[in-house]
Structures are given as C-alpha cells and as structure tokens.
Structure 1
Amino acid sequence: MEEPIVIGKDKFRIGEDETARRELRVVKVHDDVIQLQEEVHGIIALVGASSSVNIKKDELKNLIKVVKEQFGWTDICE
C-alpha cells in the first residue's frame, strides 16, 4: 500500500478542557480501490460492527482532486 495523502485536518472541542484532533487521509489500495482513513485523537473510541467517516465538502473536493491527479482516475466527475 502507498503512503496516505492527507485531505483534511481540523480540531474540535469535546469538553470544557479537551480538544480532539482529526485527520482525514486517503490511500490507494488497488488500481480501482481507495481507502479513507479518519484518525481522531482525544476521544475514547467505541468498538462496533460498522464504521463511518465524516467528510466535509472541501475534503471531498480534495479527495476528487487526489484520485484524479495522484491515482489517475480520470473518469471521476466533480
């Protein structure tokens, strides 16, 4: 697998004295498969059978740009 490309970063408040950091990354797994990785620091993680990634509009635009320019997916529309 290739090195992940960061497409978004932010911080948000989760309590009076605690701030969490979030980083959203994308990595090419195969020619037609990508993986979004959301890493959050500062919160206790819950374990479950499903997972989700929150993505902002500007992060989605960055994702589209990366898969076109870095991964060669020329058939992706904006």
Structure 2
Amino acid sequence: MTEIRYYKIGEDRFKISEDEVARRELRVAKVSDDVIQIQEEVHGIIALVGATSSVNIKKEELKELVKLVREEFGWDI
C-alpha cells in the first residue's frame, strides 16, 4: 500500500471563549493521480458528529493549494 504524504497549507488559532483557544490546521494529500484529499483539523472545540463535512479555506490557503498541486502532484490547472 502506498503511503499518503500530507502537506500543511494553513494553520491558525482563534478564541472560542474567555478561557479557550482552538487550533486549526489545513492539510492536503494526493490520494490518486486524479484525486486529492483536504483535511481540516480543529482542536480545542467540543463538537458533535454530524452527517456532513466541510472545509474552510482562506484565500492564501487556496493559493498555496493550487501551487502545491501543480508543483508536487503535477496537475495542470
């Protein structure tokens, strides 16, 4: 099985209450020649599990994502 390598394209922290700060990290991996996976990890928030999933991407992170898939994954976008 091929090892999937993750590339970090974003990271930040934000205040969610008086005493708690959450940490967010955005990563991308090449799953196959025509599929990438974007993961957003948020630590510090108690969350409920739901049936939907979303990833928040900032403008600078999107620019980094496009650059990464061109240079590292060989995609012509």
Q: TM-score, normalised by structure 1?
A: 0.93
Q: Any residues of structure 2 matched to 1:36-75 within 5 Å, and which?
A: 36-74=38-76
Gaps of 5+ in 1: none
**Unmatched 5+ stretches in structure 2:** none
Instruction: Report how many residues are paired.
Output: 75
SS in 2 for 1:66: helix
Shift of 1:46: 1.7
Superposed structure 1 runs of 4+ greater than 4 Å apart: none
Q: 1:17-76: CA deviations, max 9, x gaps? A: 1000000000000100000000000001221111100000000000000000000002x1
Output the CA distance in 2 between the equivalents of 1:16 and 1:35: 34
TM-score by length of 2: 0.94
Alignment counterpart, residue 31 of structure 2, candidates 29, 34, 37: 29
Distance apart, 1:2 and its partner CA: 1.8
Q: Percent identity?
A: 71
In 2, Cα distance between equivalents of 1:45 and 1:4: 24
